[in-house]
Amino acid sequence: MRPIYFMLLFLPVAFVAELLHWPPLAIFATSALAVIPLAGLLGEATEVLAEKIGPRFGGLLNATLGNAAELIITIIAIRAGQMELVKASLIGSVLGNILLILGLSMLLGGLKHGMQRFSRENAGMDATMLILAVIAISVPSIFNAAIEPDIVKVEELSLTTAAVMLGIYVLSIVYMLRLKSPGHNGEPGVQPSHTAPHWKPSVALTVLIASVIGIALMSEFLVGSIEPVTESLGLTPFFVGIIIIPLIGNVAEHLVAVQVALKNQMDLSLSIATGSSLQIALFVAPVLVFLSLVLGNPLTLEFNSFELIALTASGAIAAFISVDGRSNWLEGAMLLAVYVILALAFFFLPTMG
């Protein structure tokens, strides 16, 4: 049993905290800590089912549910009208994967193994996709800045842009599945991220459903307590969304990326970090744009200038790293330094709509 799963003890504590109306900070902390192991269980159940149903449908399942925890949290936040939190969490997830997790993986892996190597071809493809995602996400914001403010046109542009982004994501899945066909089994980056538990499919399906329900309930508690918590701690919803929420939903996956880097498997580590970023940018964000219409709180792909600058810089860094197919601990330290600087700036940044 992985140590992270002992954090499931916070699940009943969060229920008690909510039912007995404990202070908002206690509700926020316990529900956030409970989401972490639930997200890990969801990921492992997904991987077990993916192995059972074969590489093609398994790859599709992994691609769809890879960031299910964060998708659930953001859906709950949209329903609660926390649009600033949702937008910040989308940007924060990309930044966290590219700067924090990839940086930590390179730092620790480099300290243990020295110079580490990875596939330039796969890393370059992911970097190109990430730059494309950055451009797509930036266009509605630039468009709105170039004209007189027009919320209707921005919503229409966001919807059409989201449709194109989903189309590219589907094409990337098709490309990935073709690499998994016979004759391509040795391609880097298509291996599972870690050894899946030996569960029966029925057990995996039960764990998956229970994890989704648990994450949804914890997300309700989490989102409901954010406003009083941010006020009491002097934080902004923007900071919580861009730094804290992405860490909560992705800790389990982040630990795997660091673990495989320590095993000198940088192809896998890089694939996990950039793959998760791509899924957030090209799948989760567009899906939320369409779901927000159903939930009655339309979400547009319009971000503030600081978010766009940070996102563009992260995409550029990912592209530079993939050029030589090598990494070392100093590159990891530089990525972490950029993340810390951005986190400090986000902390001091006032609330932005």
Mean per-residue pLDDT of the chain:
85
Residue 326 backbone phi and psi in degrees, to 5: -135, 155
Q: What are 69's two structure tokens? A: 């925890």
Residue 177 pLDDT level (bands cut at 50, 70, 90): confident
At 182 the pLDDT is 43
Average pLDDT over residues 93-98: 91
CATH class of 3-348: mainly alpha
pLDDT at 60: 65
Which is more confident, 172 or 64? 172
Q: How many residues does the chain have?
A: 353
All structural domains of the chain with their residue ranges: 3-348
Mean pLDDT of 132-151: 83
Q: Which are the contacts of 170, defined by CB distance < 8 A and separation ≥ 6?
A: none
Q: How far apart are CA 113 and CA 283, in angstroms?
A: 34
With cut-offs at 50, 70 and 90, classify the pLDDT of residue 57.
Answer: low
Rounded-to-integer distance, Cα 185 and Cα 197, Å: 22
Which pLDDT value is given to residue 194? Answer: 53
Higher-confidence residue of 325 and 145: namely: 325
Question: Which band of pLDDT confidence, cut at 50, 70 and 90, is reported for residue 63?
Answer: low
Residues 6+ apart with CB under 8 A from 3: none
Residue 108 in this model has a pLDDT that exceeds 90: yes
Whole-angstrom Cα distance, residue 258 to residue 152? 43
CA-derived radius of gyration, the chain: 20
Indicate if the alpha-carbon torsion angle 233, 234, 237, 239 is positive or negative: negative
What is the average pLDDT across 251-263? 84
Q: How confident is the model at residue 88 (pLDDT cuts 50, 70, 90)?
A: very high
Q: What is the pLDDT of residue 190?
A: 39
pLDDT at 181 over 70: no
Which residue has better confidence, 125 or 329? 329
Whether the per-residue pLDDT at 344 is higher than 90: the answer is yes
Q: For residues 339 and 100, is the Cβ–Cβ distance under 8 A?
A: yes
Average pLDDT on 276-281 reads 89
Residue pLDDT, tens place only, 300-319 = 988 888 889 999 888 888 78
**Could you give phi then psi for residue 165, rounded to 5 degrees?**
-60, -40
Q: Is the pTM of this model over 0.75?
A: yes
The answer to whether 284 and 69 are in contact (CB under 8 A) is no
Q: Under 8 Å CB-to-CB from 24, ≥6 apart: which residues?
A: 225, 228, 229, 232
How is residue 334 annotated by DSSP?
Answer: H
- Per mean pLDDT, which range of 122-131, 138-147, 184-193, 247-256 is the poorest? 184-193
Q: Are 124 and 322 in contact (CB under 8 A)?
A: yes
